[in-house]
Amino acid sequence: MYPIRMARSLSENNKTNNTSGDVAVQSIQRAAEILNCVSNGINSLTDIASRCHLSKSTTHRLLKTLKECELIIQDPVNHQYYLGYSFIRLIFTPITTQEYLISCASEEMSTLSEKTGETVSLGIKIGLKNINIFVVNSKHDLKVDWANSRIRPLYEGIDGIVLLSQLDEKQIGNILHNIKIELQNKHGTFNLERLKSRIRLVRQHGYGIGHSENALGVSCISAPVTNYALPAVLNLVGPEIRIRPKVKELTLELIASASRISNLLAKRNELNSQI
C-alpha cells in the first residue's frame, strides 16, 4: 500500500504546486494590467479597478505590493497612483530597456539616413513622456542633433502627436486630462481641441509633419511604428530649408521605412510566440 500512498501524495503535491503557479501567474498578469493602466494616465483606485475588471480590495492589494517594489508611487495628497522610481530609473536608461526594438530598427534607420541625408530618430511613449531612444545623425555639417531632445512631454512636437494617435479614445482622454493638469500647475496654456484635431489628422494620413515646433527652423516628419509593446514613432529630422522643398519625397521614404520596421517586429513576434 505504501507505493500507492506515495503516488497519491506526489499527485496532491503537484496539484498544489500547479495551483500556486497559476495564482502567481494570475497575479503577475493583473499587476501588468495595473501598470499598463497607470502608464496610460488611469490613476485612481476606482478607475484602475474598473479598467482591469477587479474588485477594489484586490486592486488595492496589488497596488500595495507594487508600491513596496517601487514600481508604483502614490500621491499622499490626491491619492492618485503613478509609475514609481524603478520605472523612472528604466526611463533614464532607455537604450538598455528597449534593445529589442532598437535591434529591429537600427539597420533600417541607417539606410534611411544614408538615403535622405537627414537625422533619423526612434521614440517611444512611456507615461506622459516621449522618449527618444535611438538616433542616426545626419552627415551634413548643418544638421539637427536630436539626441539633445531625449525626453520631452507628449504634447510637444509632431512625434508626440503620432505616439498619441496610436492609443484608443479612452486612453487619450485620460492622458489629455493629466496633461491639462500638468500644464495648469505650471501656469501653461493648453489647446485641447487643436491637439485632438492633430491626432485625427495623423490617424487619417498615417503620418505627421511639423515645422519649427521644437526649435525654430527645424522640420520633423513622423510615422508610427506598430507591432511593439509600446507606441513607437520613427522620425526624420532636419533643417527646414532642406526638408520643405522635398517633403513629399522624404515622407514616402519615412513611411516605407516605418512599415518595414513594423513588419519585421510582426515577424519576430510571431517567431517568439512559437518558441
Residues 57-107: pLDDT tens digits?
999 999 999 999 889 988 877 888 988 878 767 665 656 668 889 999 999
What are 175-220's pLDDT values in tens digits?
Answer: 888 877 777 666 566 678 888 999 999 999 999 999 998 788 999 9
Ordered strands of the 151-153 beta sheet: 151-153, 129-136, 119-126, 232-239, 218-225, 208-211
The amino acid that residue 235 corresponds to is: N
Residue 217 or 10, more confident: 217
Last residue of a domain, one of 61, 88, 115: 88
Q: Are 47 and 113 part of one and the same domain?
A: no
Spatial distance between the Cα atoms of 42 and 249, rounded to a whole number of angstroms: 40
Q: Are 81 and 191 part of one and the same domain?
A: no
Tally of domains within the chain:
2
Last residue of a domain, one of 88, 105, 136: 88
Please report the pLDDT score of residue 77 as a whole number.
77
Domain containing residue 40: CATH number: 1.10.10.10
Cα separation values, 85 from 32, 121, 132, 209, 248, Å: 16, 26, 19, 34, 42
Q: Are 213 and 243 part of one and the same domain?
A: yes
Q: Are 68 and 170 part of one and the same domain?
A: no
Q: Are 254 and 215 part of one and the same domain?
A: yes
Q: Are 103 and 203 part of one and the same domain?
A: yes
Residue 192 or 13, more confident: 192
Spatial distance between the Cα atoms of 175 and 183, rounded to a whole number of angstroms: 12
Q: Are 68 and 176 part of one and the same domain?
A: no
Please report the pLDDT score of residue 99 as a whole number.
85
Q: Are 106 and 129 part of one and the same domain?
A: yes
Least confident of 91-100, 122-131, 257-266: 91-100
Q: Are 124 and 230 part of one and the same domain?
A: yes
Segments forming the whole domain that contains residue 177: 94-274
Q: Are 260 and 134 part of one and the same domain?
A: yes
Q: What is the mean pLDDT of residues 167-174?
A: 88
Q: What is the mean pLDDT of the chain?
A: 85
- Considering only CA atoms, give the Rg of the chain: 23
Please report the pLDDT score of residue 119 as a whole number.
95
Q: Quote the cell numbers at residue 255.
A: 513611411
Spatial distance between the Cα atoms of 263 and 199, rounded to a whole number of angstroms: 23
Last residue of a domain, one of 88, 109, 133: 88
The DSSP annotation for 191-253 comes to -HHHHHHHHHHHHHHS-EEEESSSSTTEEEEEEEE-SSSS-EEEEEEEEHHHHGGGHHHHHHH
Spatial distance between the Cα atoms of 164 and 200, rounded to a whole number of angstroms: 10
Domain containing residue 136: CATH number: 3.30.450.40
Helix (H) or strand (E) holding 170: helix 169-185
Q: What is the mean pLDDT of residues 53-60?
A: 95
Residue 75 or 148, more confident: 75
Q: Are 123 and 236 part of one and the same domain?
A: yes
CB neighbour class for 60 (10 Å; exposed up to 12, middle 13-18, buried from 19): middle
Q: Are 73 and 104 part of one and the same domain?
A: no
Phi/psi at 212 (5° precision): 55, 40
Please report the pLDDT score of residue 90 as a whole number.
66
